[in-house]
């Protein structure tokens, strides 16, 4: 599989490095700084997560970000979301990306510093989340921006924080402190600012003491209920989100706003 070797440098918004023990660090970023989600990164994350999942040389995967996790979204990059053909791709990629993370069959750790304000569901697909004191979780991409939160953000938060908390969190988005996310059972450990990644590496060391089959099978067992929920819920959620996006665009156009959402939310 020569393709396995060359994916490390293939992605603009995901920097991949792996140490000699097989600990892969996947760092979301935009030009080395805080990552802003675009249609292009949406597409390449699907591919990246798949490659990561299939490469058996990855023994542990750490998801993190440069100066935040994913901090914002550039909705305009997605083009005309009232076009069913455009949204069809968003739908397919959105579901596939989450399934691909769920199919990473080694322990996944998320190390969060700063803002996890877009697609924190990627982090919630990890088995363990380490967050710095100053880290915050929010969903700036959906309800506050006029769009239904159907892309997995509800499924994962509902799964890990409970449905009541998830619904309120998504309907009235406010930055959620790491400490509160810890009390909700979402974050496993809160560490001083700047220490999330190093703590993730410590946990990786610990997990590496178990045999490889044990590590893989533990992940497979742990992720199975969430994977089933993703498979069952996220496609529909994305369809509902697509219709809401189109409705938003139409209502904006009706108000003579020639450029709908100006590139960035919030």
Strand order in the sheet with 189-191: 14-18, 23-28, 60-65, 108-112, 128-132, 189-191
Question: Per rule CB under 8 A, is residue 92 in the interface with a copy of itself?
Answer: yes
Question: Per rule CB under 8 A, is residue 12 in the interface with a copy of itself?
Answer: no
Nearer to a copy of itself, 26 or 238 (CB): 238
The least distance separating a copy of itself from the CB of residue 29, rounded to whole angstroms, comes to 20
Using CB under 8 A, which of 105, 119, 199, 201 touches a copy of itself? 105
Nearer to a copy of itself, 250 or 264 (CB): 250
Using CB under 8 A, which of 59, 117, 119, 165 touches a copy of itself? 165
Question: Per rule CB under 8 A, is residue 231 in the interface with a copy of itself?
Answer: yes
Nearer to a copy of itself, 232 or 264 (CB): 232
Residue 136, SS3 per DSSP: strand
78: tokens are: 């997605």
Return the DSSP state at 266.
-
Binding-residue total with a copy of itself (CB under 8 A): 91
Looking at the chain, how many residues does it have?
266
Which range touches a copy of itself (CB under 8 A), out of 12-20, 31-39, 183-191, 192-200? 183-191
Please report the DSSP string for 201-225 in residue order: HHHHHHHTTS-HHHHHHHHHHHHHH
The least distance separating a copy of itself from the CB of residue 24, rounded to whole angstroms, comes to 17
Question: Per rule CB under 8 A, is residue 229 in the interface with a copy of itself?
Answer: yes
Residues 112-141 that bind a copy of itself (CB under 8 A): 124, 127-129
Using CB under 8 A, which of 16, 111, 190, 203 touches a copy of itself? 203
Residue 70, SS3 per DSSP: strand
Using CB under 8 A, which of 5, 9, 172, 256 touches a copy of itself? 172
Please report the DSSP string for 5-62 in residue order: GG-TT--SSEEEEE-TT-EEEEEE-BTTBSEEE-HHHHHHHHHHHHHHHH-TT--EEE
The least distance separating a copy of itself from the CB of residue 56, rounded to whole angstroms, comes to 7
């Amino acid at each position: 599989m020569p393709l396995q070797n060359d994916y490390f440098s293939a992605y603009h918004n995901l920097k991949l490095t792996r140490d000699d023990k097989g600990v892969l660090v996947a760092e979301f970023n935009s030009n080395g700084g805080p990552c802003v989600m675009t249609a292009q990164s949406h597409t390449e994350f699907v591919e990246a997560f798949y490659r990561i999942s299939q490469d058996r040389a990855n023994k542990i995967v750490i998801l993190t970000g440069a100066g935040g996790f994913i901090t914002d979204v550039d909705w305009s990059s997605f083009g005309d979301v009232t076009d069913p053909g455009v949204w069809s791709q968003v739908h397919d990629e959105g579901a596939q990306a989450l399934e691909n993370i769920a199919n990473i069959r080694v322990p996944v750790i998320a190390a969060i510093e700063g803002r996890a304000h877009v697609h924190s569901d990627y982090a919630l697909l990890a088995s363990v989340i380490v967050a710095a004191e100053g880290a915050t979780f929010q969903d700036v991409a959906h309800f506050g921006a006029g769009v239904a939160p159907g892309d997995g953000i509800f499924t994962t938060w509902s799964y890990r924080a409970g449905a009541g908390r998830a619904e309120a969190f998504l309907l009235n988005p406010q930055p959620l402190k790491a400490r509160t996310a810890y009390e909700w059972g979402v974050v496993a450990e809160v560490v001083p600012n700047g220490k999330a990644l190093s703590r993730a590496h410590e946990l990786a060391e610990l997990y590496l003491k178990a045999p490889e089959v044990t590590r893989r099978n533990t992940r497979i067992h742990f992720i199975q209920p969430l994977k089933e929920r993703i498979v069952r819920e996220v496609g529909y959620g994305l369809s509902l989100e697509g219709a809401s996006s189109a409705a938003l665009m139409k209502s904006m156009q009706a108000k003579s706003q020639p450029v709908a959402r100006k590139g960035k939310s919030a």
